[in-house]
Amino acid sequence: GQNIDQPTEMTATEGAIVQINCTYQTSGFNGLFWYQQHAGEAPTFLSYNVLDGLEEKGRFSSFLSRSKGYSYLLLKELQMKDSASYLCAVRDSNYQLIWGAGTKLIIKP
């Protein structure tokens, strides 16, 4: 079966750095996505990785290792507004998106 694993919940301190991991087992791979979802709101796109390596976008970076079936989202200089759920999704060989259950990130002052 296809599976996306990410931690259920993480806590970090304002101003710090946090890394959210995502491991996947899917039938084929055609890209990995990270979305942010604030409570009661829609998911919004953060990043897309299709090749191995690090993609940096401001305070957020996303890393991919296809051979290890592994990705992480790195958030720097955490702000209170970063409190949200972070969803990892993989596009499989049929171009269908497989979603993880999300990681709830709690930022403390």
Q: Residues touching other proteins: how many (CB under 8 A)? A: 22
Q: Which is nearer to other proteins, 12 or 22 (CB)?
A: 22
- The answer to whether 60 contacts other proteins (rule: CB under 8 A) is no
What is the smallest separation between the CB atom of 79 and other proteins, expressed in angstroms?
Answer: 22
- The answer to whether 69 contacts other proteins (rule: CB under 8 A) is no
E strands within the chain? 3-5, 9-13, 18-25, 32-37, 44-49, 53-57, 60-65, 70-75, 84-91, 97-99, 103-108
Could you tell me whether strands 103-108 and 9-13 are parallel, antiparallel, or unpaired per DSSP bridges?
A: parallel
- The answer to whether 99 contacts other proteins (rule: CB under 8 A) is yes
Please tell me the distance from the alpha carbon of residue 58 to that of residue 99, in angstroms, as a whole number: 24
Using CB under 8 A, list all residues that contact other proteins. 4, 31, 33, 40-45, 48, 50, 87, 89, 91, 95-102
